């Protein structure tokens, strides 16, 4: 085979001199070599043609069979007689279309026209010469013939389009497809493609390819793909597509061309996708929304980490989408300060979504909340309850809310209690706050500070003080008058 570009370049450079001719020959050789052997596609198929050392031309007529009755744009379903594996699927029948196409899997008369560039076919497709053919207009002897030859396990199916005219164009095309049992090899054999003019001859106006789903091996589309001289000399051309033996290194039932990790049995097209940053099912996507352990995410309008509890169509994803949360328990998704577990405030709103308005928790367990006037809900000694009903709570400065004698600003009494909450008990503001030696009460409850500074006499000391006092009293007494003597 050779690309139409070489023919077009040859005509264009016919008079351009030796330099151009040499460049043309080099280019055409490169194109022809690349066209003759495709290497392999992602599924393991390789192809080659007969013009460059590929398979030999071996056209087989099956005219002894009854021609199929095919209308223009028609098709017929044929039993293969054996199982044929094509792109990983096994088929026992094939649809033969009037326009030079075979399809598998469903009766689909859609092979009317092709478009270039080609797109991957919806159905598994073998297209030796897809163009607008009309078997119904074939002259006597012309038609579509089908036969199975060989014996098990080496049978093969031949589908022959024999002298089929192009729609409303003079000229005929003769070619066939062979499908081989066991090896699953595909051969295209072309006897005559002189269909009817420069726009249609030798592959122009046709599509030649095989493909299934997203996979496609394109030989040509609306290009001259064959040597006209081959047909003129009575020797046609051949295309062959080979499918190698299965390489299943991890023994998971999938060959290398369909297994995206042939060293990991847990990764293949037959497993479920998981959220693990790996393409588990070999579909070319990682952690897609259909993963078996993908989570539901709910719209979080206010960005507080809690999704809307109302009408909310969730998103399924392995990773959190922007603006979504993993729950739908927010009772107000328009206020980021309202969500389950939020601090309840005294604002006529259900801040913590527990169904009750203004019911903050009593964190310090003192029986009062901030809505009850607790000035410090972290300190159980400070609240606003006024337990002793003395008109002052611990938040107001009451240092003992269980004793109505005690409150800030109260007068100090001699009762062994810190009545005025200043940290001192029974103090006298005129004296130092100490217990004098020999006394058991503070100075505050001794009315005379000066007296309080002198210890009370006891024992011998008391007696000595008493005697000294009497003696002093005796010395101060006036002497008695002498009888008979008058004052001097």
Higher pLDDT pick, 28 / 255: 255
For residues 412 and 433, the answer to whether their CB atoms sit within 8 Å is no
* In 302-429, alpha helices (H): none
pLDDT band with cut points at 50, 70 and 90 for residue 69 = confident
For residues 96 and 146, the answer to whether their CB atoms sit within 8 Å is yes
For residues 401 and 394, the answer to whether their CB atoms sit within 8 Å is yes
What is the model's pLDDT at position 373?
A: 67
Q: 16-30, 53-67, 127-141: which range is least confident on average?
A: 16-30
Q: Which of 133, 141, 243, 224 is nearest to 184 (CA)?
A: 243
What is the model's pLDDT at position 55?
A: 83
3-state secondary structure 189-200: EEEECCCCCCCC
pLDDT band with cut points at 50, 70 and 90 for residue 391 = confident
pLDDT band with cut points at 50, 70 and 90 for residue 5 = very low
How far from each other are the two terminal CA atoms of the chain, in whole angstroms?
179
Q: Which long-range contacts (CB under 8 A, 24 or more apart) does 192-196 make?
A: 192/163, 192/231, 192/236, 193/129, 193/226, 193/231, 194/228, 194/231, 195/131, 195/166, 195/169, 195/171, 196/165, 196/166, 196/169, 196/170, 196/171
Length of the chain counted residue by residue: 488
Residue located via tokens 């001719």 = 21
Residues 78-106, mean pLDDT to the nearest whole number: 92
For residues 134 and 165, the answer to whether their CB atoms sit within 8 Å is yes
No. of H helices and E strands in the chain?
A: 5, 15
* Separation of alpha carbons 122 and 134, rounded Å: 24
Tens of pLDDT along 228-250? 555 656 678 899 999 877 888 99
What is the model's pLDDT at position 11?
A: 31
Torsion (CA) 203, 207, 211, 212 in degrees, nearest 10: -160
pLDDT band with cut points at 50, 70 and 90 for residue 383 = low
Q: Which of 35, 46, 147 is nearest to 96 (CA)?
A: 147
Whether residue 145 is predicted with pLDDT greater than 90 in this model: the reply is yes
Tens of pLDDT along 22-52? 333 333 333 333 334 455 676 778 898 887 7
Residue located via tokens 């090899």 = 185
Listed in sequence order, the residues at least 6 apart from 374 whose beta carbon sits closer than 8 Å to its beta carbon are: 362, 364, 366, 368, 382, 383, 384, 395
Average pLDDT value over all residues in the chain? 77
Residues 71-99, mean pLDDT to the nearest whole number: 91
b/e burial code for range 389-414 (CB count within 10 A of at least 16 → b) = ebebbbbbebbbbeebebbeebebeb
* Separation of alpha carbons 21 and 29, rounded Å: 12
For residues 444 and 432, the answer to whether their CB atoms sit within 8 Å is no
Listed in sequence order, the residues at least 6 apart from 433 whose beta carbon sits closer than 8 Å to its beta carbon are: 424, 427, 442, 443, 444
Whether residue 358 is predicted with pLDDT greater than 50 in this model: the reply is yes
Torsion (CA) 125, 131, 135, 140 in degrees, nearest 10: -120
Whether residue 83 is predicted with pLDDT greater than 60 in this model: the reply is yes
- DSSP annotation string for 124-160: -EEEEEES-B-GGG--TT-EEEEEEES-TTS-EEEEE
Higher pLDDT pick, 122 / 292: 292
Percent of the chain exceeding pLDDT 70 equals 71
Whether residue 127 is predicted with pLDDT greater than 90 in this model: the reply is yes
What is the model's pLDDT at position 431?
A: 58
Higher pLDDT pick, 357 / 459: 357
What is the token pair recorded at 191? Answer: 């006897």
């Amino acid at each position: 085979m050779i690309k139409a570009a070489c023919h077009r370049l040859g005509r264009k450079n016919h008079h351009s001199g030796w330099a151009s001719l040499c460049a043309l020959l080099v280019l055409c050789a490169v194109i022809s070599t690349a066209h003759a052997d495709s290497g392999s596609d992602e599924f393991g198929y390789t192809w080659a043609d007969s013009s460059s050392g590929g398979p030999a031309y071996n056209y087989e007529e099956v005219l002894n069979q009854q021609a199929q009755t095919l209308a223009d744009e028609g098709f017929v379903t044929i039993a293969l007689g054996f199982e044929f594996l094509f792109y990983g699927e096994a088929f026992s029948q094939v649809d033969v279309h009037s326009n030079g196409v075979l399809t598998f899997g469903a009766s689909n008369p859609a092979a009317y026209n092709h478009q270039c560039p080609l797109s991957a076919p919806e159905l598994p497709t073998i297209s030796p010469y897809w163009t607008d053919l009309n078997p119904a207009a074939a002259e006597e002897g012309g038609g579509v013939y089908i036969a199975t030859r060989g014996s098990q396990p080496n049978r093969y199916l031949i589908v022959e389009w024999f002298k089929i005219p192009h729609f409303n164009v003079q000229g005929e095309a003769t070619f066939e497809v062979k499908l081989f049992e066991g090896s699953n090899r595909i051969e295209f054999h072309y006897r005559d493609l002189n269909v009817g003019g420069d726009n249609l001859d030798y592959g122009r106006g046709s599509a030649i390819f095989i493909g299934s789903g997203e996979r496609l091996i394109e030989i040509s589309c609306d290009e001259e793909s064959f040597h006209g001289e081959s047909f003129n000399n009575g020797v046609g051309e051949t295309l062959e597509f080979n499918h190698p033996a299965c390489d299943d290194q991890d023994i998971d039932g999938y060959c290398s061309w369909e297994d995206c990790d042939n060293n990991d049995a847990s990764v293949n097209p037959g497993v479920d996708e998981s959220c693990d940053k790996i393409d588990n099912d070999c579909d070319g996507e990682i952690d897609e929304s259909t993963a078996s352990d993908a989570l539901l995410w709910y719209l979080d309008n206010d960005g507080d980490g809690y999704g809307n509890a109302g009408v909310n169509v969730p998103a399924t994803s392995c990773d959190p989408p922007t603006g979504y949360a993993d729950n739908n328990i927010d009772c107000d998704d328009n206020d980021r300060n309202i969500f389950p577990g939020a601090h309840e405030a005294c604002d006529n709103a259900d801040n913590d979504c527990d169904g009750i308005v203004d019911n903050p928790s009593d964190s310090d367990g003192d029986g009062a909340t901030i809505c009850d006037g607790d000035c410090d809900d972290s300190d159980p000694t400070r609240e606003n309850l006024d337990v002793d009903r003395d008109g002052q709570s611990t938040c107001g400065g009451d240092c003992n809310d269980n004793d109505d004698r005690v409150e800030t600003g109260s007068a100090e009494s001699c009762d062994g209690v810190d009545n005025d909450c200043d940290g001192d008990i029974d103090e006298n503001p005129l004296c130092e706050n100490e217990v004098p030696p020999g006394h058991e009460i503070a100075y505050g409850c001794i009315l005379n500070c000066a007296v309080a500074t002198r210890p009370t006499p006891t024992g011998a000391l008391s007696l000595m003080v008493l005697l000294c006092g009497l003696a002093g009293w005796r010395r101060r007494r006036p002497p008695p008058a002498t009888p008979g003597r008058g004052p001097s």
